[in-house]
Amino acid sequence: MKKLLIVKTGSTYDSIRKNHGDFEDMIIAASGITKEKFDVFDARDESLTFPLPDKYAGIIITGSHDMLTYNDDWMQDLKDWINTITDTNTPTLGICFGHQAMAEAFGGVVDYRDWGPEVGYVKVKFDAEAYNDELFSILYDKCSVYQYHSQSVIELPRGATLLATNSIDPVQAIRYNSHMWSCQFHPEFNHEIVAHYINQNALHLTTEGLDPYELLMRLEPDQTGEKLLKQFIKICGL
């Protein structure tokens, strides 16, 4: 049986990694399947060659503390590789930075938003296009998700379908074709992880006009992200 591939684009803080693992560990924990069914490929290691997409049952591209506007060489390599997935039937999901990388790979635009970071437990609304979508139809019309990001997809790729939005960031989820999706929010996070992020960056959030205490008070346990990841795993046939 084919494995799932996690494409690692960054690492979380050491303080979070001690209790929750790194981004790939969070994804595995939320997926409901064992670690042995995953391979992890570090996209930042330019000594490595990207694997063939059709070798895998599915692909998940992680978040990162890096920004796409850094335009590092490995980021362009990642986007070039993402384009090769189009000609396969390999289900692919990009998360946060992975969402933005997929959007840019297909011709979208990513940049900082004028109104600052989107952080915490945030409501999103799924558009009518999501109702019959193989992946996102399992979520409610409106639900809350965990967020922490400063950059966004500010222009959709031509031909892409917008699936979810909110008043803070209009591009919350995208379908690119029959087997490739991305979301700005973090389905692998739980409320404890987001709380760590808020506490770690409290001073910065204050300078951005956000109230860390208020963000913490709004956090609630929620399994929406787990539900989405498990549906993706189901689509992958595992």
226 catalytic? Reply is no
196 catalytic? Reply is no
Q: Which of 24, 188, 196, 236 is catalytic?
A: 188
What distance lies between CA 213 and its chain's CA centroid?
25
Per residue in 11-68, pLDDT tens? 999 999 999 999 999 999 999 999 999 999 999 999 999 999 999 999 999 999 999 9
Per residue in 119-165, pLDDT tens? 999 999 999 999 999 999 999 788 999 999 999 999 999 999 999 99
Q: Which of 96, 143, 183, 236 is catalytic?
A: 96
Q: Give dist(CA 73, CA 12) in Å, integer.
A: 21
Q: Which of 20, 99, 179, 186 is catalytic?
A: 186
96 catalytic? Reply is yes
What's domain 4-235's architecture?
3-Layer(aba) Sandwich (3.40)
Per-residue model confidence (pLDDT) at position 142 = 85
> φ, ψ for residue 59 (rounded to 5)?
-135, 135
Contact 120, 206 (CB under 8 A): no
